[in-house]
Amino acid sequence: MWDHVIRGGTIVTATEEAYEADVYIKDGKISAISIERLPGKVTEEIDARGCCVLPGLIDIHIHSRDPGASHKEDFYHSTQAAAIGGITTVFEMPNTNPPINNVENFHKQVDNLEQKAHVDFGVWAICLGRLNSEDLHPLNKAGVIGYKFFWGYAVNSKTFQLVYNANEKNDEVIPPFKDGEVYEIFESVSKTGKVLAIHAESNDIIQYLTQRYESSDHNDYNALLQTRSNLAEEITIQTGISFAKKTGVRLHILHMSTEEGVNLVKAAQKEGYNITSETCPHYLFLNNEDYNKIGSAMKVYPLVKYKKDQEKLWKGLEEGVISIVCSDHAPHTEEEKSGDLWSIPAGMCGVETLTSLMLDAVNKNRLTLQDLVAILSENPAKQFGIYPRKGSLLPGTDADITIVDLNKNSVIKKENLHSKSKITAFDGFELKGTPVATIVRGQMIMKDGKIVSKPTGKLIKPSNDNS
């Protein structure tokens, strides 16, 4: 009668008191959660005694580089890493080659990813201003999870690739969009009803401050921080919030790294605007002082800032100003990451270590396990229109389940990561609390740190498509 029963675990959701019960699964859906044994034959029993049973965790922000830079990472590896990390759904970022800028590329991408996906996935679309404004509505109908705008990045006019070093003088490079064109993006996305997520850093400010520093002899992390400063994030979030107020777009601030950002989002939320934000483990567990120990592995954009920012981000999380924690998984190879701090690319692995780092924080009483379920599962699902299918343990919904052992210790070792490139700022971190099983639509994908299934992940489309 039942395909699987998860026995004896502690059920943890975002809102209820934790309680011990069995989870009954049939045809990939949750059938029942019961404190009493239900009659009927069971095909497979999963012993979860001593562990906690959570709605499947979601990482809304990963860059698998697939297609386009699969020497760094691909979806096969990134979703294995996700499953090992207890993640049942990922949202793949659109800065691939080709990028996800139109429906044709979206469909090709879904075909590509579906063959490699160990977990379910949503796909972001990219906003390229007037280069693809006509494509945004069709992309909505096709089922993208949301729209991403890399504010402050230049774009290659032929390949539409982002240009990370935007001061290059080159005919093929379209400079970062001016505010008017960005405002148009906000207007266009507002008509879709979907989320517009922004990378919020001002290229103007960064360029200006970089020129100042080029003439000085400073060359360390703190000098870099002077150039990609808090101000660059602050003014972009500020403008973004103003545009959102005017256009009504559902604005989401990606990888927030500053105190100023938290203050701005909090103020907008207080005024009643549905503006949301996320942060990542590197901003929560590191600050500039860690650079001496960790080195260039911790270079990400936006940069990891100061202790005061780190503390404010935790406060923002506690207050609900920040409602999601995600990895910004963005691998580069060891070779690419070695060399001069100013010229190496930004980004590191994260999808595999996200859950353990947050579980360790639960053990250190920085948040409750209920809070963790909210920020890694329920809030992402609700904000992106896939709740309750994802992000809940309600009967009738997808049997996506993450089983965690709060008492199991682990050490992050870069060589053990499942990604192709193995750059992490957290190498050597000793953590308490580990995901021990990942179940997607009733199927066990990871058990005790091992992948136990072939790729069977599927595209997830949001329901609020307004089309």
Residue by residue, DSSP assigns 407-436 as EEEEE--GGG--SSS---TTTT-EEEEEEE
| Identity of the residue, 387 or 426, whose beta carbon is nearer to ligand DOR in the bound complex | 426
**At closest approach, how far in Å is the CB of 254 from ligand DOR?**
8
**At closest approach, how far in Å is the CB of 74 from ligand DOR?**
14
Candidates 221, 301, 384, 387; binder of ligand DOR (CB under 6 A) is 301
Name the one range near ligand DOR by CB under 6 A: 41-49, 96-104, 342-350, 398-406: 342-350
Which two tokens mark 464? 């609020």
Assess 148 for contact with ligand DOR (CB under 6 A).
no
| Site residues (CB under 6 A) for ligand DOR, limited to 84-103 | 95
Assess 300 for contact with ligand DOR (CB under 6 A).
yes
Q: Which does 282 bind (CB under 5 to 8 A by kind): Zn ion, ligand DOR, none?
A: none
| Identity of the residue, 63 or 408, whose beta carbon is nearer to ligand DOR in the bound complex | 63
Q: Which does 314 bind (CB under 5 to 8 A by kind): Zn ion, ligand DOR, none?
A: none
| Residue 257 CA from chain centroid, whole number | 14
Burial class (CB in 10 A: 0-12, 13-18, 19+), 214: exposed
Give the footprint of Zn ion on this chain (CB under 5 A): 328
For residue 62, which of 418, 402, 386, 394 has the smallest C-alpha distance?
Answer: 418
Contact 258, 233 (CB under 8 A): yes
354-388 per-residue burial string, b: 16 or more CB within 10 A, e: under 16: bbbbbbbbbeeebbebbbbbbbbbbbbbbbbbbbb
| Identity of the residue, 260 or 328, whose beta carbon is nearer to Zn ion in the bound complex | 328
- The region, left, alpha or beta by phi > 0 then psi within -120 to 50, assigned to residue 466 is left
| Residue 384 CA from chain centroid, whole number | 12
**At closest approach, how far in Å is the CB of 99 from ligand DOR?**
11
Q: Which does 300 bind (CB under 5 to 8 A by kind): Zn ion, ligand DOR, none?
A: ligand DOR
Assess 252 for contact with ligand DOR (CB under 6 A).
no
| Identity of the residue, 54 or 348, whose beta carbon is nearer to Zn ion in the bound complex | 348
| Site residues (CB under 6 A) for ligand DOR, limited to 306-335 | 330
Q: Which residue is nearest to Zn ion (CB)?
A: 328
User: Which SS3 state, helix, strand or coil, does residue 265 take?
Assistant: helix
Q: Which does 195 bind (CB under 5 to 8 A by kind): ligand DOR, Zn ion, none?
A: none
Q: Which residue is nearest to ligand DOR (CB)?
A: 347
| Identity of the residue, 247 or 296, whose beta carbon is nearer to ligand DOR in the bound complex | 296
**At closest approach, how far in Å is the CB of 63 from Zn ion?**
6
Assess 109 for contact with ligand DOR (CB under 6 A).
no
Q: Which amino acid is at 35?
A: I
Burial class (CB in 10 A: 0-12, 13-18, 19+), 304: buried
Q: Which does 129 bind (CB under 5 to 8 A by kind): ligand DOR, Zn ion, none?
A: none
Q: Which does 146 bind (CB under 5 to 8 A by kind): ligand DOR, Zn ion, none?
A: none
DSSP state of 329: B
**At closest approach, how far in Å is the CB of 218 from Zn ion?**
27
CA atoms within 13 A on the CB side of 141: 8
Candidates 4, 61, 63, 282; binder of ligand DOR (CB under 6 A) is 63
For residue 99, which of 60, 127, 118 has the smallest C-alpha distance?
Answer: 127
Strands, sheet with 276-279, edge to edge from the N-terminal-most edge strand: 57-62, 87-92, 120-126, 146-151, 195-200, 250-253, 276-279, 324-325
Candidates 61, 116, 194, 199; binder of ligand DOR (CB under 6 A) is 199
Assess 350 for contact with ligand DOR (CB under 6 A).
no
| Identity of the residue, 397 or 421, whose beta carbon is nearer to Zn ion in the bound complex | 421
CA atoms within 13 A on the CB side of 417: 27
Task: Give the C-alpha separation, 212 to 360, whole Å.
Answer: 41
**At closest approach, how far in Å is the CB of 228 from ligand DOR?**
11
Contact 359, 404 (CB under 8 A): yes
Contacts to ligand DOR by CB under 6 A: 63, 95, 199, 300-301, 330, 345-347
